[in-house]
Amino acid sequence: MFQPLGFEQNSVLTSLGRMAYYANTGIPWICHPSAETLVFLHGFGGGSSAYEWSKVYPAFASEYKIIAPDLIGWGNSEHPERNYQIDDYLTTIGEFLAQVSSIPVTVVASSLTAALTIRVAIARPELFKSLILTTPAGLSDFGADYSRSFFAQLISTPILDRLLYSAGVATSNGIRSFLEQRQFACSNRVYEEIVDAYLESAKQPNAEYAALSFVRGDLCFDLSTYISQLTIPTAIIWGKKSQFTESQIGERFATINPQAIKIFQQIEDVGLTPQLELPAVTIGLIRRFLTLLAES
């Protein structure tokens, strides 16, 4: 229902289970065998999936091999019953990239996943050509501790956590409310298809495990302690009205490592996910950054 025209579902096996991904292997896309690969990685949150980038990646399908996975625990990928930890995603993202391409790729990633991808790029730089990241943040940056926030503490209560997920997250009203009030800068940009796509992912069996691990803060960390080690050419896009991470955090990241972070671009009147809120603008910036990073 939410798969763009010409994109077909495939999968690879990781150490935590099978990861589904979408690639431009159907009509009308004819991808040249030597085309470069763009990998689009979605962020975390109730109902997250590769849909998050589905209004952006078709714009590149005639020029690039496109790979857009559902991360483990999200979308149509496997949902192991476990309390997910940071290493689970560092490992499976690396395993996934190594299997889908034999040469370095450009990764476009969002929010906390983007921060995790930076750590993968530090550990395994041979997998990456460049990075284009929207609002990359570990959510506990520069000494902050998200896990001590009221909501993180509330969701850490056994039994109550499952009730809150089923009643407050995995519902149409719950998803719409979160998108309108927290994720988007302008509520009128949240249309029905977005809500439906998030709801479909949120209702997958065992979807609550990854979502609750994220909300509890189990996946958060201080990216500022890693960012200086990054060597891959990187561009950062930052929604200036992101409620979770102020733009000053991104500016500080760029200042710490200007050798790797070649571009830092803020977007006015946009929240956490410019790829959903203003996809045309995001497409234009990604296209420009691909050229600039290649030249660098």
Strand 8-14, strand 37-41: pairing: unpaired
pLDDT digits over 44-61, tens only? 988 999 999 999 999 999
Q: What is the sign, positive or negative, of the torsion defined by CA atoms of 260, 263, 268, 270?
A: negative
In the structure encoding, which two tokens stand for residue 144, read together?
């902050």
Q: What is the pLDDT of residue 46?
A: 85
pTM reported for the whole predicted model: 0.95
CB 60 within 8 A of CB 47: no
Instruction: State the Cα torsion 125-130-135-140 to the nearest 10°.
Output: 10
C-alpha atoms less than 13 angstroms from C-alpha of 186 in its C-beta half-sphere: 10
Please give the radius of gyration of the chain, using alpha carbons only, rounded to the nearest integer: 18
Q: What residues have CB less than 8 Å from 42, skipping those under 6 apart?
A: 48, 49, 50, 51, 52, 53, 68, 70, 71, 74, 75, 110, 113
Strand 128-134, strand 234-239: pairing: parallel
CB 114 within 8 A of CB 135: yes
* 80 closest CA partner among 19, 20, 17, 21: 17
Give pLDDT tens digits along the chain (296 positions): 588 999 999 999 999 999 999 999 999 998 777 899 999 999 998 899 999 999 999 999 999 999 999 999 999 999 999 999 999 999 999 999 999 999 999 999 999 999 999 999 999 999 999 999 999 999 999 988 766 665 666 666 666 667 778 877 889 999 999 899 989 999 999 999 999 999 999 999 999 999 999 988 899 999 999 999 999 999 999 999 998 788 899 999 999 999 999 999 999 999 999 999 999 999 999 999 999 999 88
Q: What is the pLDDT of residue 150?
A: 58
Q: What is the pLDDT of residue 148?
A: 67
Q: Does domain 8-295 have CATH number 3.40.50.1820?
A: yes
Residue extents of the structural domains in the chain: 8-295
Taking the C-alpha atoms of residue 250 and residue 237, their distance in angstroms, rounded to an integer, is 9
Taking the C-alpha atoms of residue 61 and residue 203, their distance in angstroms, rounded to an integer, is 29
Q: What is the pLDDT of residue 53?
A: 98
Q: What is the pLDDT of residue 44?
A: 96
Taking the C-alpha atoms of residue 296 and residue 292, their distance in angstroms, rounded to an integer, is 6
Sequence-distant contacts of 26-34: CB under 8 A, at least 24 apart: 29/61, 29/62, 31/61, 31/64, 31/65, 31/66
Per this entry, what is the length of the chain? 296
Q: What is the pLDDT of residue 1?
A: 57
Q: What is the pLDDT of residue 296?
A: 80
Backbone angles phi, psi at 240, to 5 degrees: -70, -20
Q: What residues have CB less than 8 Å from 243, skipping those under 6 apart?
A: 182, 183, 271, 272
